[in-house]
A and B are shown apart, each in its own frame.
Chain A
Amino acid sequence: MSGEILGVLGESGSGKSTLAASVLRLLPPNGEISGGAVLFEGNNLLQADYQELRQIRGGRISLIFQEPSLALHPTIRVGEQVRQVLAAHQSSAKKELAERTREIFNRLFPEDADRIARSYPHQLSGGQRQRALIAQAIACNPAIVIADEPTAALDPVTQAEILAVFRSLREVLGLSMIFITHNPALLSGFADRILILYAGQVVEWGPANSVLQSPRHPYTRALFESLPPAPADSGKNRKQMLLVIPGSSSPTSLPRKGCSFEPRCPLKMDVCREFEPPLVKLGETHILSCFKYQ
Chain B
Amino acid sequence: MEPILKVENLVKRYTKRNLVGVPQEFLALDSVSFTVSAGATLAIVGESGSGKSTVASCIACLETPTGGNLWFEGKNLAHAAENELRNLRPQIQLIFPDPASSLNPRWTILDIVAEPLVVQGKLSRSERMTRAFSLLERVGLSAEIAERPASELSGGQRQRLAIARALTLQPKILILDEALSALDCSVQAQIATLLIELQSSLGMTFLFISHDLAMAAYLADEIAVMSRGQIVEHGPAVKILQTPASEATRQLLAAVPQLSHAPQPAAQR
A interface residues, Cβ below 8 angstroms from B: 11-13, 125-126, 154-161, 163-164, 182-186, 188-190, 209, 212-213, 222-224, 226-232, 234-235, 238-239, 241-245, 248
Are the C-beta atoms of B264 and A160 separated by less than 8 Å?
yes
| A235 contact from B185, B211, B242, B261, Cβ within 8 A | B242
CB-CB < 8 A to B193: which residues of A?
241-242, 244
CB-CB < 8 A to B48: which residues of A?
125-126, 154-155, 158
Are the C-beta atoms of A12 and B154 separated by less than 8 Å?
yes
Are the C-beta atoms of B261 and A186 separated by less than 8 Å?
no
| A156 contact from B185, B257, B261, Cβ within 8 A | B257
In the complex the two chains form, what is the Cα distance from A150 to B10 in whole Å?
Answer: 35
CB-CB < 8 A to B217: which residues of A?
228-229, 231, 234
Nearest 7 pairs of A and B residues by beta carbon: A189-B263, A164-B266, A226-B189, A228-B218, A185-B257, A234-B217, A11-B184
A-B contact pairs, 21 of them (CB 8 A): A12-B154, A12-B155, A156-B211, A156-B213, A157-B251, A159-B255, A159-B257, A160-B255, A163-B266, A183-B185, A189-B263, A228-B217, A230-B256, A231-B217, A234-B218, A235-B237, A242-B189, A244-B193, A248-B154, A248-B156, A248-B187
In the complex the two chains form, what is the Cα distance from A37 to B139 in whole Å?
Answer: 44
Most buried by B among A156, A157, A158, A182: A156
**Is B19 interfacial (CB 8 A cutoff)?**
no
In the complex, the chain B residue whose C-beta lies closest to that of A125 is B48
Are the C-beta atoms of B185 and A213 separated by less than 8 Å?
no
**Is B113 interfacial (CB 8 A cutoff)?**
no
In the complex the two chains form, what is the Cα distance from A242 to B191 in whole Å?
Answer: 10
Q: Other than A155-B48, A188-B257, A238-B237, give 16 A-B pairs with Cβ distance below 8 A.
A: A12-B187, A156-B212, A156-B213, A158-B47, A161-B269, A188-B260, A226-B185, A232-B242, A235-B237, A235-B241, A241-B193, A242-B189, A242-B193, A243-B189, A244-B193, A245-B186
The count of residues in chain B whose C-beta lies closer than 8 Å to any C-beta of chain A is: 45
B260: min CB distance to chain A, Å: 6
Question: DSSP majority for the B interface?
Answer: helix
CB-CB < 8 A to B47: which residues of A?
155-158
Are the C-beta atoms of A12 and B266 separated by less than 8 Å?
no
A108: min CB distance to chain B, Å: 14
Are the C-beta atoms of A222 and B186 separated by less than 8 Å?
yes
B interface residues, Cβ below 8 angstroms from A: 47-48, 154-157, 184-190, 192-193, 196, 211-215, 217-219, 237-238, 241-242, 251-264, 266-267, 269
Are the C-beta atoms of B257 and A186 separated by less than 8 Å?
yes
Given contacts A230-B256, A231-B213, contact A189 B264 (CB under 8 A): yes
Given contacts A234-B241, A239-B218, contact A189 B262 (CB under 8 A): yes
In the complex, the chain B residue whose C-beta lies closest to that of A222 is B186
CB-CB < 8 A to B157: which residues of A?
248
CB-CB < 8 A to B215: which residues of A?
228
CB-CB < 8 A to B261: which residues of A?
188-189, 209, 212-213
Are the C-beta atoms of A156 and B218 separated by less than 8 Å?
no
In the complex the two chains form, what is the Cα distance from A69 to B220 in whole Å?
Answer: 32
Given contacts A156-B252, A158-B48, contact A190 B258 (CB under 8 A): no
CB-CB < 8 A to A188: which residues of B?
257-261, 263-264
In the complex the two chains form, what is the Cα distance from A161 to B47 in whole Å?
Answer: 13
Are the C-beta atoms of A157 and B255 separated by less than 8 Å?
yes
CB-CB < 8 A to A238: which residues of B?
218, 237-238
Are the C-beta atoms of B253 and A242 separated by less than 8 Å?
no
In the complex the two chains form, what is the Cα distance from A213 to B258 in whole Å?
Answer: 12
